[in-house]
Amino acid sequence: MDMKLSKKGPEKSLLLSLKKTGGRNSQGRITSWQRGGGTRKIWRIIDFGQEHMGVQGKVSAVEYDPNRNAFIALISYQNGAKGYLLAPEGLKVEDEILCAEKAEVKLGNRMKISNIPVGTLIHNIELEPMRGGKMARSAGNSAQVVAHGEKYADIQLPSSEIRKVPMDCFASVGMVSNAEFKYIVLGKAGRRRLKGWRPNVRGTVMNPVDHPHGGGEGRTGRGMKYPKTPWGKHALGVKTRNKKKWTGRLIMQRRKKKRK
């Protein structure tokens, strides 16, 4: 579904300039490879939480955001304030939305999960009450309320993982907009450079001092049974999730592997 974007500039009161890092940390050392350049972008301040609780709002515009793959909606509230939200698929200008503990189950409304019926698609889901949405925020993503309990609700995430979320947490109704984002083909190297990504080369074409796969005469393979990272650790089939992460105890069912 194609959403109609508004032909207006961003709201100046909700903009913030960010300094580029080029993948370097506070000591000036590169900690994220192949970063740098890119076009100048201004950050839009997005409301992922409940900053305008209980205040009716109206959609003034649906805009493109260069910092994320989803569209954003500019909301004008009855108390005169303005704010940006993640735009759900199907949201239009002049639509009314509300963030409250209990509200109508309508596209764009935000409320406690305890008041959202089972089977409803939701996004921008909190993990802890009043800490702001953390899950299901990218383009075309949505989770589904599977069951309600006394303290926790079961939520099925886009990855097929089912986890428990406290009933007092807030979530927004609907699916995040711009689901067609995954079909975009950049088409040329220059467009990737404009996004701030620098060229990357394979480890097999490097020297042995730079990568475990490097060295050899001509176009040779990596020369080892298992691929390794530049620091000599195994690169495939290794679990990267921290076993001691506190949210791990809330996972009811792990995500299913996709069939190739």
What are the sequence ranges of the domains in the chain?
12-180, 201-260
Say if CB 178 and CB 156 are below 8 A apart.
Answer: no
> Which residue in 175, 84, 170, 91 sits closest to 127, CA to CA?
170
- Distance (Å, whole) CA 41 – CA 195: 10
Q: Across residues 20-42, what is the average pLDDT?
A: 93
On the question of a common fold for 12-180 and 201-260, the answer reads: no
Q: Across residues 221-233, what is the average pLDDT?
A: 92
Average pLDDT, the chain: 94
Q: Is the pLDDT of residue 222 over 80?
A: yes
* Residue in the block written with tokens 């209980």: 54
**Structure confidence at residue 260 as a pLDDT band (50, 70, 90):** low
- Distance (Å, whole) CA 129 – CA 85: 19
**Structure confidence at residue 51 as a pLDDT band (50, 70, 90):** very high
User: Which CATH number applies to 201-260?
Assistant: 4.10.950.10
Beta strand 82-86 with 72-77 is: antiparallel
Which pLDDT score is estimated for 1? Answer: 58
Q: Is the pLDDT of residue 42 over 70?
A: yes
User: Which CATH number applies to 12-180?
Assistant: 2.30.30.30
Q: pTM score, two decimals? A: 0.89
Which pLDDT score is estimated for 239? Answer: 86
